[in-house]
Every structure is written in structure tokens, then in C-alpha cells.
Amino acid sequence: MRFRVAEVDAALAEAAGGVLAKLTEPADAVWRGLAGAGVLGALVPGEAGLDENCLPPLMETLGHAGVAVPAAETIAVGAPLLAELPVLGGVLDGSVLLTVSLDTEAPVPFAADADLFVVGAGDRLRLFRREELGITPLASVDASRKLARLSVPSRGGVVVGEGASVVETAWLRGVLATAGLLVGLGGRMVELTVAYVRQREQFGVPVGSFQAVKHALADVVVELRFARASVLAAGWAQAAGEADTGVRTSAAKVLASEAARSTARAAIQCHGAMGYTTEYELHRYAKRAWALAADWGGPAEHRALVARALGLP
């Protein structure tokens, strides 16, 4: 089967790329710029009218930019659940920051700054305002994602989704979006490394001419290409409602996580000591890759889900 990104999905990613080319920081300005381009409402019923096929190219573009915004939490999961609520307007124009937690035991990205929270408990998704929750900021390998742990009351909030299928859809969209971000991050790390090894010389020649360097980068490019195809396939399966959507989505997350981590390792090695410099751009991408690889289920968890779905012991 061959996949090709539809024109409308490519146009959305291109619009996001146009914003990111003009705005690189601060993150809140970038987020408002993306909101102005209509990116935040991609999956909201009655807005852009798109389906999960739009997520792989869009998230790859956002991951490539490396900007710390709640893309998976808001665009893929949270905003589509608020279609009937008046708070949606503030979320879509970027003035209200929304994040999502489907596992209240886990640290929640962007929770330290968020105004609204979609929280899952059992087969129910509830919307809380910041003042209704206990919020404890946490340290993280990627400090730009503003992690916090939530204390959620057993009652209260506004129910924005109910039923096992609704929760599963939200979960699968979050996993898919995170996999797309990882592919974009990996691509950017390859670009940075290729540019560096072309100009860095050793023994009078570019280090990129050494076979060990070329092979290391070729290996991670192949990994990323396999991951990208799997992420596209998962998006298609979600949009089409295929029976094996869960398996495809978990496989995409495994491949994207492993490819991004391999790329980070190879990129740092090819840069030498410079790769460990916290002020250098590569370090930020590597840390983001490590964090996202573990977010929305790490590779071990998703491998177990695939094995269970296939009936393997």
C-alpha cells in the first residue's frame, strides 16, 4: 500500500511551517501565531473539518521546529472535545492554554502554565479550570515542557467525553501526534548533524567523509523513513476506523521513539564534545526526543500492547 499526504493536510502543515519560519520564540508567541493560522482547530468539528490524516505531516512540521507548545495535547486531543463549550474560542485563538492528562499518576506536560485541563478517569473525560486542581511543578529532562503533577478531585469539572471508545480515540490521537513530533525532531537532528560534519575537519578533511560517520547517519535516516511511513499508516487507520488501528498506532510510536532516540545518540556522537553543550540547539532536540519517547506510552508499553493484540505470550 502506498501513502501520499492529501493536499488539504499538506496545506495545513505548510501553513504551520510558514508561521514557524517567521516566529521561533517565545513559545507563547509561536502558539498564538499557529492559532491565527487555524492550526489549533484542525480536528475540531465545525472548524477545519479534517481527520487524523492531518496529524502526521502537521506534527512532523511542529516537531522539526522544536518549539515547546502543547501540540499533541491541544490539537490532537483536547480541543476536539470542547466543540460545544464557550471556552473553545479562547483555546483556538491561543489566549487560553489547554493540556491533557489521561493518566493522573504521570507528570503532565505544560501543566505548570496551563489554564484548562482535560483529565481522564476511567471511561470519563472531565474539563477543569486551573483553580480547581492541585498543581505541583516538577523538574524534567526537558524543562521547556513545564511538567507538573496534578491532584484531581473525585467530583466536579465538566464532562467533555464519556465511554470507552471516546477515551480510546483521545488516547490514540495523543499517541499518533507524539509519534509525528518524534519523526520531525529526528529529521531536524539529522539536518544539524549533516551540516556540522560537512564543515568540521579532522586530518585535513571533513569528518563527514569518514565511513563511520556516513554509516551512522545513513542508519538513522533509514530508521526515520520507516517510522514516518508507519506514522502515516497509523493516521490513515485512525481516520478510516480500521480494526487494527491500535496495533498500527502502537507500532508507529515504537518506531518513532526508537528512531528519534537512535538519531539523538548518533547526532551527539558525530558532534563530539560539542554535542554535550547545553547551549547548542542539538541538545534541546535530543532532550525533547528522550522526553517524548516516554510520553503517551514508551516503547516497552506499546510493544506489550502490540503483542497482546496479536495474541503473543
Measured CA to CA, the distance from residue 90 to residue 87 in angstroms comes to: 6
Which letter does DSSP use for residue 231 in this model? Answer: H
pLDDT score of 175: 98
pLDDT digits (tens, 9 = 90+) for 67-116: 999 999 999 999 999 988 999 999 999 999 999 999 878 999 999 999 99
Q: What is the value of pTM for the model shown?
A: 0.96
Closest by CA position to 103, among listed 92, 116, 82, 117? 117
Cell of 97: 492554554
Determine if the peptide bond prior to 107 is cis (ω within 30°): no
Burial class (CB in 10 A: 0-12, 13-18, 19+), 237: buried
Task: Note the pLDDT of residue 4.
Answer: 80
pLDDT level of residue 2 (50, 70, 90 thresholds) = low
The domain limits of the chain are 165-310
Average pLDDT over residues 260-274: 94
Is the separation of the CB atoms in 256 and 29 below 8 Å?
Answer: no
CATH number for the segment(s) 165-310: 1.20.140.10
- In the predicted model, what is the mean pLDDT of residues 125-139? 96
Distance CA 291, CA 109 (A): 10
Higher pLDDT, 65 or 278: 65
Give the mean pLDDT of 273-299.
Answer: 91
pLDDT at 1 exceeding the cut of 80: no
137, 131 in Cβ contact below 8 A? no
> Is the C-alpha dihedral spanning 185, 74, 31, 290 positive or negative?
negative
Mean pLDDT of 173-183: 98
Instruction: Calculate the average pLDDT of the chain.
Output: 94
Average pLDDT over residues 284-294: 95
Residue 184, by phi and psi: left (phi above 0), alpha (psi -120 to 50) or beta? Answer: alpha
